[in-house]
Amino acid sequence: MSIERKNTSEKPVIGITMGDINGIGPEVIIKALSDNRMLRFMTPVIYGSSRVLTYYRKAMAMEEQNHHQVKAPGQVHDKKINIFNCWEDTPDIQPGIENETGGKYALLALQKAADDLKNGYLDAVVTAPISKNNIQSEEFKFPGHTEFFTQLFQAKDSLMFLVSDTLRVGVVTGHIPLKEVAGQLSKEKIVKKIKLMEQSLKKDFGINKPRIAVLGLNPHAGENGLLGDEENLIIKPAIDECKNKGMIVTGPFPADGFFGKGSFKTYDGVLAMYHDQGLIPFKTMAFENGINFTAGLEGVRTSPDHGTAFSIAGKNQADESSIREAIYLACEIVRNRGMLPEQ
């Protein structure tokens, strides 16, 4: 599906969902937007509640930050922080507590922002953290944001792509139990993920001839079949097929040595076989400024690479660097895709 842009702004209009109101989402949003220079290159629209923002602004003694309330799509003010109230009632805010209230309001904000993105009123959406547990309902039966947005845009597939200044990591399998990973792998699936990564590196990051590294599944990449045969039977044939189509793809590499020796520095993207194989080294190196990007969709969606952090919610301790970088990346991708009007 294609999106018809409904706004005429020369700056990217970025929707920012509030996430779980009892987590650190509201706090990091307020902190990230406290620098007025952010408004020079983007127009933010926060999806959530002005009452929730007021609560956290008071708690952090940042009451000078003002918001322009938006009552309908297309009413955003280019030079202000906009807020779309996704509910009228006053929720019981309990920082640090994971409960049904947090999941309920996180879903309301996500649904409205997603609709506006799909309908062309937003150029991108940045999602603050949700609890994958308390948001589950009849309306949300997904392991996380990635799967939600993939279905929203009716895409056959997507790529969870973790991005920082020094490393880009995608995963073949995402939010599934580790014991199911090997059974979920196939040559066709790996080829699809490599293609999605290459297309994203070209379209979203402006890299003409991306170099992609593919990790093995087993220790030492199977040690020639001694420690597992998935490399020989599935992963290598997928790499060979992509090479035959002109892609610059190398592997499979043993994951430990690949990251330990710094080999990732010579590649534009790294494809891991499962969630923790890619995300543990990524978060070790880029926890404070890492970004989660859903590649392969018509819509642009990014998020910080951290969770709700209930343990520090409401204590004014959360670092806003990751969500700020997620906003920056969303704007960069919008521009790289040529979505803005020519000036």
The per-residue pLDDT for 39 is 93
The per-residue pLDDT for 130 is 96
89: CB partners within 8 A, 6+ apart: none
Domains of the chain: which residue ranges?
Answer: 1-155+297-343, 156-291
The per-residue pLDDT for 47 is 97
The per-residue pLDDT for 309 is 95
Rounded Cα distance between 67 and 46, Å, is 9
1-155+297-343 and 156-291 agree in CATH topology: yes
Cα dist. 16→31, 76, 112, 224, 271 in Å? 13, 13, 11, 47, 28
CB 24 within 8 A of CB 95: no
121: CB partners within 8 A, 6+ apart: 6, 7, 13, 73, 74
The per-residue pLDDT for 221 is 83
In CATH, what is the architecture of 1-155+297-343? 3-Layer(aba) Sandwich (3.40)
The per-residue pLDDT for 112 is 96
The per-residue pLDDT for 165 is 92
Q: Which amino acid is at 4?
A: E
CB 216 within 8 A of CB 222: yes
The per-residue pLDDT for 67 is 86
Q: Is 313 helix (H, G, I), strand (E, B) or coil?
A: coil
Which class is 156-291 in CATH?
alpha beta
Q: 127, 50, 41: which is closest to 82 by C-alpha?
A: 50
Tokens of 257: 């040595």
Digit-by-digit pLDDT tens for the chain (343 residues) are 678 888 888 899 999 999 999 999 999 999 999 988 999 999 999 999 999 999 999 999 887 778 889 988 778 988 999 999 999 988 899 999 999 999 999 999 999 999 999 999 999 999 999 999 999 999 899 988 999 999 999 999 999 999 999 999 999 998 899 999 999 999 999 999 999 999 999 999 999 999 999 999 999 987 888 888 999 999 999 999 999 999 999 999 999 999 999 999 999 999 999 999 999 999 999 888 899 999 999 999 999 989 999 999 999 999 999 999 999 999 999 999 999 887 5
pTM of the model: 0.94
Tokens of 44: 């933010």
Strand pairing category for 291-295 and 159-163: antiparallel
**DSSP character at residue 132:** T
